[in-house]
Chain A
Amino acid sequence: MSLVDQDAVTAKIFPHPLNAWYAVAWDHEVSNKGLLARTIAGIPMAIYRTADGRPVALADACWHRLAPLSMGKLVGSDEVQCPYHGLRYNSAGRCTAMPAQETINPSAMVPSYPAVERYRYIWVWPGDMTLADPDLIPDMHQMDSPEWAGDGLTIEAPCNYQLILDNLMDLTHEEFVHGSSIGQAELSESEFHTRLEDDGSVTVSRWMRDVAPPPFWLKNIRDRFPDFEGHVDRWQIIHYYAPSTICIDVGVAKAGTGAPEGDRSQGVNGYVMNTITPRTERSSHYFWAFMRNYRLDSQLITTQLRNGVAGVFAEDEAMLKAQQEAIDANPEHAFYSLNIDAGGMWVRRILDRMLQAEGRTGAEAPAASPAR
């Protein structure tokens, strides 16, 4: 291995790998009653389920004159009818009917992207289909495990997906962006450790010992220990799975009860589940959920946590939008890195290697392209 120029790794508009699974929708958004139009990795897709419930993602452009199939309708057990001239495609993307002729043009088809339902999401693979192994879907088992409860939402973020990964890989920003809920001064005062794991994931861990819980965490620990007063040991353990899934093990425990050593019995534990799907170079579908492993039967807590985290993430969304606008308004300016960017820089390096494996590079992005 040798040292390489970091220009590609610090690209401001980061290209997205195509040979990857991306969440395209929540399970409940996709049905066999109608079509969902969504752009994934720059590719417009028409998403639906077959009569027996299997998810399907077709390219959202009829083979004939490229009318959007998502404006069409579902017919038969697994077919879509083009809204314009009535050509029909099955779930494999093969044309099964053409108007005004007795045969079907053998070339007539639209791409059908591999689609898999897992962890309450529908995932699609926009790249080389021969490489689409469902075992490569990142581990988000907390989403549908009976040991965890919670819910989430989607943010349509007006920024490059990498900015969201940067945001989640360094939580120092909580002190400044989320001062009223989860921020506290100890975030930037405490040490953190960044590690590239053997399985290719990246972990960033931070422990804040014997600190006053910020409002969000005081509420949570009192949901489990109603009379709780005093200090906590707080943790944030960030797990990154390529290309763009970040699951953050978060929680607080009564200070000095052994949580840093592995005994979390006197605390509350959550998992912030994030999977970010590039939509275009400058927009992303950001799917998130907050899962917890205590008081699983309380729908009230599920709703409170979802609404609370939605409020926190709205602060991130505003920052990400402003950051993207500033990036586009300052085309001649480069990114510089700080100590706190270690996690985000590992992510960037891993993504750049994925791009290289596809014969591409982060440096392909234009240094100064106009906002779209």
Chain B
Amino acid sequence: MSVDNRAEWRLGRVVESVPVARDIRRITIERPGAAAGRARPGTHLDVRVRLDGREDLRSYSVVESDEGGRRLTISVLRVPESRGGSVFMHGLQVGDELMTTQPLQNFPLRVGAIRYVLVAGGVGITALVAMARVLRELKADYTLVYVGRSREQMAYLASLAELHGDRLEVHVDDEGTSLDVTALAAGVAADPRGPGTEMYVCGPIRLMDGVRRAWADEQLPPANLRFETFGSSGWFDAEEFVVRVPQLGVETTVGSDSTMLEALTAAGADLMYDCRKGECGLCRVDIGAVDGVIDHRDVFLSGRQKQRDDAVCICVSRVVSGPDGRPPTLTLTLP
């Protein structure tokens, strides 16, 4: 659990790009620099993607690396409704170059827990592949729960089954074997090792939110539920919407491939932020009025706070149109 969180940017080169599931490509990047050892489980790369002439930052979990940590493999899901980073990443070909950090750690695996349950939803498997492999090497007691809509959308299914055997538990929505998060948490709580069990979750916000609620309902220790979110997943598909800050005289349109923070900043609003993945809460702004439904994508506001809909983390959260179908609009109020 080293503190590898100070980014060192280098120009990397794509050495492999192959499909590993529907809309998911496995991309291996060779990054120059001194040998840093094999990428630790839970690490991710930040990469600079180019979108319509501007640069942006995306984070992708490291699936595997070589011994020296110079050849780093990620896997990217192409998100059709967004014209954003995933499309750029899918367009990369062998030999292309892009700026990338070393593996950064925000989701470390703690060694020594009595039992582990890893829960992956869809492309979230990328954050857990290396963890499961290390737990197997450590002869730890672990279960890898892998959830997907259909098998063809689930990357690495065959190799995971081969490596982990009975420790892999697969749930496929279109086969009628969807994951019951309540039963999952109840199973952890019913086990005598429950209080010492650690759960690591990576997946879409619905899955993570469901697991969080079930974990809390079972009164399992909150610190033993670990999850990673890059703020990229929402309750609804991203739509274009309008945001206004009357106090600043700003009104702008937030494209489906952009964030509220980006759009407001581009329109001249000088707003505070830091993490840009919905964790720190510095970008929270009070809501004056909303036409549509807020898609709270952050993990800073509590469920109670999100229900009140009186504040929003503008780095990740969005607005979508409501049942009346009117164009979604959000009015923000500064203190």
Instruction: Tell me if chain B binds chain A.
Output: yes
List residues of chain A with CB under 8 Å of any chain B CB.
59, 90, 92-96, 101-107, 109-114, 128-130, 132, 358-359
Pairs A-B, 9 closest by C-beta atoms? A102-B302, A359-B35, A94-B223, A111-B1, A129-B111, A107-B106, A105-B279, A96-B223, A92-B110
Task: Say yes or no for B112: interface residue by CB 8 A criterion.
Answer: yes
Q: Complex: how many Å from CA A19 to CA B1?
A: 13
Contact B1 A105 (CB under 8 A): no
Contacts of B36 in A (CB 8 A): 359
Q: Complex: how many Å from CA A270 to CA B109?
A: 43
Q: Complex: how many Å from CA A95 to CA B106?
A: 13
Return the chain B residue nearest A98 by Cβ: B281
Query: Can you give 20 contacting A-B residue pairs, CB < 8 Å?
Result: A59-B3, A90-B223, A92-B113, A93-B1, A94-B223, A102-B302, A103-B301, A104-B222, A105-B279, A106-B227, A107-B275, A109-B1, A109-B108, A114-B112, A129-B1, A129-B111, A130-B41, A130-B137, A359-B34, A359-B35
Contacting A at CB under 8 A, from B301-329, are: 301-302, 304-305
Give B27-61 as 1s and 0s: 1 = Cβ < 8 Å from A's Cβ atoms: 00000001111001100000000000000000000
Q: Complex: how many Å from CA A103 to CA B226?
A: 13
Contact A101 B300 (CB under 8 A): yes
9 new A-B contacts, CB < 8 A, other than A93-B1, A103-B300, A130-B134, are: A92-B113, A102-B301, A103-B299, A106-B226, A107-B107, A128-B37, A129-B110, A359-B36, A359-B37
Contact A95 B223 (CB under 8 A): yes
Return the chain B residue nearest A132 by Cβ: B111
Give B82-116 as 1s and 0s: 1 = Cβ < 8 Å from A's Cβ atoms: 00000000000000000000000011111111000
Contacts of B108 in A (CB 8 A): 109, 111
Q: Complex: how many Å from CA A110 to CA B2?
A: 9
Q: Complex: how many Å from CA A109 to CA B1?
A: 9
Return the chain B residue nearest A90 by Cβ: B223
Q: How far is the CB of A93 from chain B (nearest CB, A)?
A: 7
Give B236-272 as 1s and 0s: 1 = Cβ < 8 Å from A's Cβ atoms: 0000000000000000000000000000000000000
Q: Complex: how many Å from CA A110 to CA B105?
A: 11
Contacts of A128 in B (CB 8 A): 37, 40
Return the chain A residue nearest B208 by Cβ: A106
Contact B3 A111 (CB under 8 A): yes
Task: Say yes or no for B229: interface residue by CB 8 A criterion.
Answer: yes
Q: Complex: how many Å from CA A144 to CA B240?
A: 70
Contacts of B113 in A (CB 8 A): 92
Most interface-central of B2, B35, B41, B275 (chain A CB within 10 A): B2
Task: Say yes or no for B228: interface residue by CB 8 A criterion.
Answer: yes
Chain A facing B: main interface SS: loop
Contacts of A112 in B (CB 8 A): 1, 110
Q: How far is the CB of A106 from chain B (nearest CB, A)?
A: 5
Contacts of B305 in A (CB 8 A): 102
Return the chain A residue nearest B305 by Cβ: A102
Q: How far is the CB of A129 from chain B (nearest CB, A)?
A: 4
Task: Say yes or no for B68: interface residue by CB 8 A criterion.
Answer: yes
Contacts of B301 in A (CB 8 A): 102-103
Contacting A at CB under 8 A, from B216-241, are: 222-224, 226-229
Q: A92-B110, A132-B111 are in contact. Are A106 and B3 (CB under 8 A)?
A: no
Contact B111 A106 (CB under 8 A): no
Task: Say yes or no for B138: interface residue by CB 8 A criterion.
Answer: yes
Q: Complex: how many Å from CA A59 to CA B300?
A: 25
Task: Say yes or no for B280: interface residue by CB 8 A criterion.
Answer: yes
Q: Complex: how many Å from CA A229 to CA B305?
A: 86
Q: A101-B281, A106-B228 are in contact. Are A92 and B223 (CB under 8 A)?
A: yes
Q: Complex: how many Å from CA A92 to CA B111?
A: 9
Q: How far is the CB of B65 from chain A (nearest CB, A)?
A: 12
Q: Complex: how many Å from CA A112 to CA B109?
A: 11
Give B115-156 as 1s and 0s: 1 = Cβ < 8 Å from A's Cβ atoms: 000000000000000000010011000000000000000000
Contact B302 A103 (CB under 8 A): yes
Contact B222 A96 (CB under 8 A): yes
Q: A90-B223, A106-B228, A107-B279 are in contact. Are A130 and B111 (CB under 8 A)?
A: yes
Contacts of B41 in A (CB 8 A): 130
Contact B110 A105 (CB under 8 A): no
Q: How far is the CB of A359 from chain B (nearest CB, A)?
A: 4
Q: How far is the CB of A152 from chain B (nearest CB, A)?
A: 29
Most interface-central of B36, B108, B301 (chain A CB within 10 A): B108
Q: A102-B305, A130-B111 are in contact. Are A358 and B281 (CB under 8 A)?
A: no
Return the chain B residue nearest A100 by Cβ: B281
Q: How far is the CB of B198 from chain A (nearest CB, A)?
A: 8
User: Which of B35, B279, B302 is within 8 Å of A106, CB to CB?
Assistant: B279
Q: Complex: how many Å from CA A117 to CA B226?
A: 28
Most interface-central of B2, B223, B224 (chain A CB within 10 A): B223
Most interface-central of A103, A111, A128 (chain B CB within 10 A): A103
Contacts of B281 in A (CB 8 A): 101
Q: How far is the CB of B309 from chain A (nearest CB, A)?
A: 15
Q: Complex: how many Å from CA A96 to CA B221?
A: 9
Contacts of A111 in B (CB 8 A): 1-3, 108
Q: Complex: how many Å from CA A359 to CA B280?
A: 35
Return the chain A residue nearest B111 by Cβ: A129
Most interface-central of B36, B67, B134, B222 (chain A CB within 10 A): B222
Return the chain A residue nearest B137 by Cβ: A130
Contacts of B2 in A (CB 8 A): 111
Contacts of B299 in A (CB 8 A): 103, 105-106
Q: Complex: how many Å from CA A97 to CA B41?
A: 25
User: Which of A95, A105, A114 is within 8 Å of B280, CB to CB?
Assistant: A105
Q: How far is the CB of B200 from chain A (nearest CB, A)?
A: 11
Q: Complex: how many Å from CA A129 to CA B40?
A: 10
Contacts of B40 in A (CB 8 A): 128
Contact B37 A358 (CB under 8 A): yes
Q: How far is the CB of B41 from chain A (nearest CB, A)?
A: 8
